[in-house]
Amino acid sequence: MGKTLNVCFIGTGWMGSTQLQILSKLDGIKISVIVEQNRVNAEEAIKKAGLGDTPITDNFEMAIEKFPIDIVWIVSPNSLHAHQAIFAMERGINVFCEKPASTTFSDYEKEIELSKANPKVMSMVDYILNFNPMEQVLSEMVKADEFGRIDQLQINYRHPVNIQGDKVWKLKKAFMGDAMGMGINHAISMIVRIMQIQAKPLAVYATSFNSKVRGFEPDPVWNIMIRYDNGATAICLGNIDVENGYDLYHCLAGSKGGFIFDSRLAVQDKIRLWGEKMTNGQWVYPLHPGFESTNALVQKITPDIMLPDSGDVLDHQIKIALEHFINSVRTGVKSPLSFDNSSLVAEIGWAAQVSAREHREVLLPMSSEDCAIARLL
């Protein structure tokens, strides 16, 4: 297990309180101090987690200077993420950061710079879908060449984010940043995960508009197209304003097979796939009762598999994600989701915003001209 890791935990809202309850029960973890502006929220979260008399402060910088800290755990409002992460990394402290990593391009650049310059400082951006079992099986199938060359890939993120009560800050650009950071980056992270097996992105083209239903300041509706060096195209349709349910629709079309996931269908119909070898060229529904397959990867898609079909944080692999980062800190091995290793997810989001503003395709990596535009967003 190794030494006890001292954590400065920031943010005890809905997501923070949930993570705190799980994190505090992991072996070798001590919640040394909680940073929260709303003391009532902090006290309630402490009570739920059974943390007794854990100190509470509203001064993040003071907490870092006063307590011996190994990890800064950031689950605060979006606009605070980067300052808190940068402050910690500059002092050699490991950082777990809820997405997005930042709400400004300049801070995004600084986080990557610090992450690369300090290889012994571990970091992680919580792109939680990387730990979903269905997503992992899908990636395994792509690696095993079950679908052949991917020609087209679509992954949506359409989900009306919660703005009730003290979450109303999510409507304001100064606090939430942009729609990518509020959730669309989940879909982008899965596009990156799947496509990086075969190809590199060349360019992004995007459009956006404000649906003006619930009063979001930044545009909540996005249409993002990513062009790859093998000729493939990936598309993300995003909407954080209005949607009937949780839409993380997947459609992968390859030269030797395909995969479709529809999060809003009845469970048994949510996944259908085909492959020349994997299913003898036939479309199959692996979640149907009584379905059988001789393919080892298809066999992993069982009726009890956790699907990415819910916007409720409790329906995702939180504990596994948290343990992943703790293991990264203990072993000194950078996570694939560190600020620098996962930077492409954020860069595609920034490129999309530049594209929508300038009404043109944006090449990747972003040029100095486009980086300058991104800093003004």
Question: How are beta strands 29-35 and 56-57 bridged, if at all?
Answer: parallel
Whether residue 147 contacts residue 257, with contact meaning beta carbons closer than 8 Å, is answered with: yes
**pLDDT digit string (tens) for 258-303?**
999 999 999 999 999 999 999 999 999 999 999 999 999 999 999 9
Q: Are 371 and 112 in contact (CB under 8 A)?
A: no
Strand partners, 292: none
Q: How confident is the model over 103-120, as pLDDT tens digits?
A: 999 999 999 999 999 999
Burial of 264 (0-12, 13-18, 19+ CB in 10 A): middle
- Is the pTM higher than 0.75? The answer reads yes
How many of the other CB atoms lie within 10 Å of CB of 341?
Answer: 17
Residue 54: φ, ψ to 5°: -55, 130
Distance CA 285, CA 268 (A): 7
Rounded Cα–Cα distance for residues 129 and 209 (Å): 26
Q: Where in the chain is the domain with CATH 3.40.50.720?
A: 5-128+316-339
Per-residue pLDDT at 329 exceeds 80: yes
| pLDDT reading at 14 higher than 90 | no
- Classify domain 5-128+316-339 at the CATH superfamily level: NAD(P)-binding Rossmann-like Domain (3.40.50.720)
Residue range(s) in the chain whose domain bears CATH number 3.30.360.10? 129-311
pLDDT recorded at residue 77: 95
Exposure class string for 29-42: b at 16+ Cβ within 10 A, else e? bebbbbbbeeeebb
Residue 149 is encoded by which pair of tokens?
Answer: 């060359």
Where is 7: in which H helix or E strand? Answer: strand 5-10
Residue 124's H or E segment, with its range, is: strand 123-125
Give the pLDDT confidence score for residue 38 in this predicted structure.
94
Burial of 359 (0-12, 13-18, 19+ CB in 10 A): exposed
In this structure, whether the domain defined by 129-311 belongs to CATH 3.30.70.2660 is answered with: no
As a whole number of angstroms, the distance between CA 216 and CA 170 comes to: 8
Instruction: Report the mean per-residue pLDDT for the chain.
Output: 96
Query: What gap in Å lies between CA 98 and CA 124, rounded to an integer?
Result: 8
Residue 333 has pLDDT above 80, yes or no: yes
Distance from CA of residue 85 to its chain's centroid?
16
What pLDDT score does 1 carry? 65
